[in-house]
Structure 1
């Protein structure tokens, strides 16, 4: 653990130096090939950063914060703001009227209930009750655990940076289990930082390029599939950081499957072939589809390579660490 903390300090010092260099270069070299060439060493550094960690949590967080999102950040007016927006998955809340539903802050009661559920799951782990469960119930519990932990990390990060920067930060997750369609799930509720990055960098360019080849209607779906493909490839990279083995492409298949089904869903809605189902029915269908396709394609690598055991052990280690230090403080 001490070695991991030293690596963490080194990584964030390197990140600050790299971001400062990017800020300096971007303010002095106009957009084009020369700027891209100047920033290429930073892209390589951020691509290698997760390999410095053996901890699943540190590896995944650094991969998501730095490897994926940092090179695609805008250029704010000051270095401090640029560092915050480049190194953390945050976005200022503009509160457009069309998406006001998705920008509401999390209710204190909802947050409290999620903390209680997460505490209950940790208690199951500490008492080894999870070892007696069959695969399907354990996958359900572990999926809830991963979602809650990711939301807590991103929520606390956003809250802290919102206080420091003096601006309101958009929520990254917005109750994805309430999604009424796959389009709603992926574009408005689940990890909203990713679509906000992939839409201008993948979806729109692909749609514009393919419009002249296949027409505007099919070009839209080409943009959707390209977005899911890039997301799948980035998740394959994150899996490689964690497992350090050649990809099996199951994760890419998971995202391509969801891209195809989401495209079909959008097409059916546009054709108005049938009335939309009740919200409760559509939400249940979305949750079931996401859960079972994830169990089929997304999580097998996690179980085969015992990543779930590493995640649980790291959580239990943190709990024991906090308990021991609290006891020492009290004594």
Structure 2
């Protein structure tokens, strides 16, 4: 398929790059598993006073290890799983805290998936959980298929509408990806796992959206690593009533920095600060919301339907302004399509698909 080009790169060249990327992906994850085996062993035999010196270097290694990968699908996901979640979980583990710390110690078969992936063992019995109506898998797949058709005509549509489609696309893809990861981890660890999304489109406030509905593993990791230490340090200066304000802002600041790292892995484009600005803005906005809630009697607050619409509108509009531009600047849409074509070419050379499948909605 040398005649099929995207940004001057043939799918054959892309396939060759993808093959190299897959080799690096295997190398990176082999290293990750080896490092986690080491940390698991250290946690059982090294005294707690020496555990930090033994484990924290691995956490630092996990910050840079995903830089070995350059693709969106492999590099971006690995950066989120390893440079962010796994490194923060190891920081907690080194301090005898967090999901990896347990008495008796977790078995290795459970330790590794809990360290690598955005999953959490369920503490509420399955039959006691509320069964809210959720968007089912068939609906999500159908919606994604429709979005792909929309992208094929994006030159004739308003850019803001396309970015709104990206919002839906990112949510569905993240939820499906994390559900798949959770299912695989559940098969290996044989435990019930908590879902990572709780219908974020039903959020009634920024506090509700970020703390209880969106990508729940992130706040559960940032809460003990950033929020709680900053709140304890701030309490003597601000008083316990207001100590949460600097803690919230610091949490969003760290989240913004980690998002900058993940986006950098997408395209190796110099950070513009827009992604950081998005999370700083939401940190300030959420802090202001907490202040208003503390000072305003509940009877004067907006109804949930109204505040919910305002919340989603604010999240989406600020995403258009600050969240999506770094992805577009990194060429995430075109690069993702190039990678998809390369993967299809890879399958075609092994006679697993027909050449007719080599098409891209972005072309």
Instruction: Provide closer, same or farther for how the CA distance between residues 105 and 312 of structure 1 changes in structure 2, counting only shifts above 3 A.
Output: farther
Residues 106 and 81 of structure 1: CA distance in aligned 2, closer, same or farther (over 3 Å): farther
2:165 is the counterpart of 1:117: no
User: Which of 270, 279, 286 is matched with 1:262 structurally?
Assistant: 286
User: Which residue of structure 2 aligns with residue 88 of structure 1?
Assistant: 117
Residues 140-165 of structure 1: CA distance to partner in whole angstroms, max 9, x if unpaired? 11222122111111011112222332
Counterparts of 1:248-287 in structure 2, within 5 Å, are: 248-273=272-297, 275-287=300-312
Tell me the equivalent position of 2:43.
Answer: 26
1:228 corresponds in structure 2 to 252
The one of 184, 193, 206 aligned to 1:169: 193
Match of 1:60 among 76, 86, 90: 76
Deviation at 1:256, TM superposition (A): 1.4
Structure 2 CA distance for partners of 1:319 and 1:174, relative to 1, 3 Å? farther
1:305 correspondence with 2:305: no
Q: State the SS of the aligned residue for 1:217.
A: coil
> What is the root-mean-square deviation of aligned Cα atoms in Å?
2.4
Extract unaligned runs of 5+ from structure 2: 1-17, 90-99, 356-363
Residue 266 (structure 2) pairs with residue 242 (structure 1): yes
Q: Report the Cα offset of residue 214 of structure 1.
A: 1.8
Alignment partners' CA distance in 1, 2:27 and 2:132:
34
Give the TM-score taking structure 1 as reference length: 0.89
Unaligned runs of 5+ residues in structure 1 are none
Distance in structure 1 (CA, Å) of the matches to 2:337 and 2:192: 33
Higher helix share: 1
Partner of 2:93: none
SS in 1 for 2:106: coil
The reply to whether residue 314 of structure 1 matches residue 343 of structure 2 is no
Q: Residue 69 of structure 1 contacts residue 89 of structure 1 at CA under 8 Å; is this kept in 2?
A: yes
Relative contact order: is structure 1 or structure 2 higher (C-alpha 8 Å, sep ≥ 6)? 2
Corresponding residue SS for 2:70: coil
Structure 2 CA distance, aligned partners of 1:245 and 1:305? 6
Residue pair 2:267, 2:331 contacting (<8 A) in 1 also: no
Between the aligned partners of 2:281 and 2:193, the Cα distance in structure 1 is 32
Cα deviation, residue 232, structure 1? 0.8
Structure 1 runs, 4 residues or longer, greater than 6 Å off: 319-324
